[in-house]
Structure 1
């Protein structure tokens, strides 16, 4: 079985949905800002403000969508999120001013966040008691889809015309609409009734879970290290050749696609997940140190250090993703999985908002000492995770899931995300 496609059946159907949706996401991430500035003719500052507002709103939307999925069913919520995202994306073609842009981009970004949250219960339903491998396959497929979308966006950037950017938005919306159509074929997700004494917003009152969300959010700054800090570091502080910017992205994508399933399949308890998060923090620290050394050395040495640092960083990313997947799901009561996943996603959302400013201020403006500070922040967050996991395990009420069957994950797809 390949590293991207799980075994035939509902798991592969979900991989197809994910691939279509993330091609659209890759298009938006790569060229969305250029569409807003070149085709809609909005100032860069206003585009940044609008995207920040949309991101903040999406944090709340994710929690609400998760709660809706718990009560009404996750598959329907997933289809609706993809369809709404597609319609809002097509609507961006009609944006003519800041207000219309803000409304439409907020709907689109919120739908994307909601889709990621409600997809979690769908994964759990398809995979049963051992969802680790399927989550990993979904993540590998996500990386492939985003890379393909970025390649399509490169065509529009190369042409750099209003028409090219508008066709790119059409492609984005079309891929999302295709994902929504494919998602209709996914199995229905059984709704678990809430206990009579259950609180309506139980997730936001679960302090250990909130702490883990925050810690995962701090560790998730590592994603912005790859997309913000390293490219800027290469072009402003090193003699590395220009192709290194693309090479580090290709290397990271290859590591995730080839090894995420293998790493994730055996991380199947909260304690193992906590230890994986701890190891990820150590790897991020080592990666920051190695990457910082790329400044002030010859071009060949800088390229070698950058590639070595990204390789180490990518191993940390594998462990963080596997640990975060397991903790966010296994510590959530079955009747409130969607709501819990929405809360867990707040950490990632905050990292996406704060990360770029933090990294440019420390790593780029300050230089090598800033890289050490970022590395220390990440390793500290990782070291704190295991004791917080232990706190969560002994904090009632915690509704445990059924024990995992030792070999069940292999039915999703043999070997190798």
Structure 2
């Protein structure tokens, strides 16, 4: 599988990468400016927006296994395309929100279809990733990060203009990106439904070792909230660093993930090596938390240097964590339930999206310095538990990952 930076070779891989890029660009715009739209244009109180997004995140947790199962049984291409079309409608419905209840309905639909799309995309990655879907997934994460970074540019424009028409334009453009991604999905070769094995309808939910790995990965996935939520608040409230450091930290993270994720993923090619990588990630997050603490009360430019160092260290851990997660999520999934297992594993990230913001804010912002060490210790201990959990899951009887092939091949 030869790629030039993040550009894949011709064929289904390139098309799927383009789909991910287009969708991620729109998603980046929505995630960056969505809260501002709800508070400044719809005029909802911040508390109501927080409650609504939390409820939406909780509902989205239920989407993964059933939609993944549907993708296995009905064909992943059609199900994924349907989630993109429904997602476009849900995002467009946000423009009709006038009060809390209409906002809540649209936000729930948006979150549900997004999670459903990730579950349905799992079998497509397995299908077109040839013999190494884990490595292909690493490439797609790099592509996604580039798209999200580009999506923040129009979001910044909308925030700067601050008018309702600017926000509406941004929301509708995000919906259009989902429709474009759906149209591109039609160009993928159709995938055959995976034959049903007797008793396999909810096999993922009955797989206790895999479910345990999902829980551990969900705890570690709280690390994604460190750079997006906690660090910006820490910079503003606890350090003398300039506010432009918020954008600088995200730029460093995005550049490192975009350029290094595929390479790191390529070198993690067994469940055992994935467990070790995730263990290293846990201790790396502990180290980054300790470095962040050093920025409080430091002179301006020392704080800047400390924060940049912390982001580099944290991103190294993020690369290991993501690559290890890709490996175990695919390598330990049986061939007859790829989508269902991917949907279950995605619930860990969904739980982190739901619980993570409150957790990191309470520990690191409200509690302060001791909270950073507690958070880092949670990451380190969780990382230590992953290798034995992988060994237990790998010790179960698992047939090799047999991928469904496109009907045209």
TM range (shorter): over 0.9
Which contiguous aligned blocks of 4+ residues in structure 1 show a shift greater than 3 angstroms? none
- Render the CA deviation track for 1:29-73: whole Å, top value 9, x for unaligned: 111111122222222222221111111111111221101001101
- Render the CA deviation track for 1:75-120: whole Å, top value 9, x for unaligned: 1111011110001111222222222222222111111111111111
Q: 2:134 touches 2:330 (CA, 8 Å); kept in 1?
A: no
In the other structure, the counterpart of 2:321 is: 320
Give the one of 48, 54, 67 matched to 2:56.
54
Task: Trace 1:163-174 onto structure 2 (pairs within 5 A).
Answer: 163-174=165-176
In the other structure, the counterpart of 1:363 is: 364
- Render the CA deviation track for 1:372-407: whole Å, top value 9, x for unaligned: 1111000111111000001111234x333259xxxx
In the other structure, the counterpart of 2:331 is: 330
For 2:227 and 2:108, how far apart are their aligned partners in 1? 25
Q: Secondary structure at the match of 1:101?
A: helix
For 1:308 and 1:151, how far apart are their aligned partners in 2? 25
Q: Secondary structure at the match of 1:213?
A: helix
Does residue 399 (structure 1) correspond to residue 399 (structure 2)? The answer is: yes
In the other structure, the counterpart of 1:410 is: none
- Render the CA deviation track for 1:217-237: whole Å, top value 9, x for unaligned: 111111000101111111111
- Render the CA deviation track for 1:8-27: whole Å, top value 9, x for unaligned: 21111111101111111111
| Structure 1 spans left out of the alignment, 5+ residues | 404-417
For 1:401 and 1:349, how far apart are their aligned partners in 2? 25
Q: 1:57 touches 1:110 (CA, 8 Å); kept in 2?
A: yes
For 1:234 and 1:83, how far apart are their aligned partners in 2? 39
Task: Trace 1:135-284 onto structure 2 (pairs within 5 A).
Answer: 135-196=137-198, 198-284=199-285
Structure 1 residue 187 displacement after superposition:
2.0
For 2:332 and 2:134, how far apart are their aligned partners in 1? 14
Further displaced range: 1-10 or 50-59: 1-10
For 2:352 and 2:325, how far apart are their aligned partners in 1? 14
Q: Secondary structure at the match of 1:200?
A: coil
In the other structure, the counterpart of 1:107 is: 109
Q: Secondary structure at the match of 1:195?
A: coil
Structure 1 residue 3 displacement after superposition:
2.2
In the other structure, the counterpart of 2:407 is: none
Q: 2:335 touches 2:402 (CA, 8 Å); kept in 1?
A: no
For 2:155 and 2:4, how far apart are their aligned partners in 1? 26
Structure 1 residue 256 displacement after superposition:
0.3
For 2:145 and 2:243, how far apart are their aligned partners in 1? 23
For 1:304 and 1:96, how far apart are their aligned partners in 2? 44
For 2:303 and 2:37, how far apart are their aligned partners in 1? 34
Give the one of 69, 79, 89 matched to 1:87.
89
For 1:229 and 1:55, how far apart are their aligned partners in 2? 19
Structure 1 residue 266 displacement after superposition:
2.2
Does residue 35 (structure 1) correspond to residue 40 (structure 2)? The answer is: no
Q: Secondary structure at the match of 1:268?
A: coil
For 1:282 and 1:5, how far apart are their aligned partners in 2? 32
For 1:243 and 1:42, how far apart are their aligned partners in 2? 28
Further displaced range: 6-15 or 184-193: 184-193
TM-score (norm. length: structure 2): 0.95
For 2:108 and 2:302, how far apart are their aligned partners in 1? 44
For 1:171 and 1:159, how far apart are their aligned partners in 2? 16
Further displaced range: 41-50 or 265-274: 41-50
Q: Secondary structure at the match of 1:4?
A: coil
- Render the CA deviation track for 1:279-312: whole Å, top value 9, x for unaligned: 1111111111111111121111111111011101
Q: 2:269 touches 2:327 (CA, 8 Å); kept in 1?
A: yes
For 1:402 and 1:35, how far apart are their aligned partners in 2? 45
For 2:207 and 2:132, how far apart are their aligned partners in 1? 24
For 1:297 and 1:90, how far apart are their aligned partners in 2? 46
Q: 2:295 touches 2:307 (CA, 8 Å); kept in 1?
A: yes
TM-score (norm. length: structure 1): 0.94
For 2:201 and 2:238, how far apart are their aligned partners in 1? 51
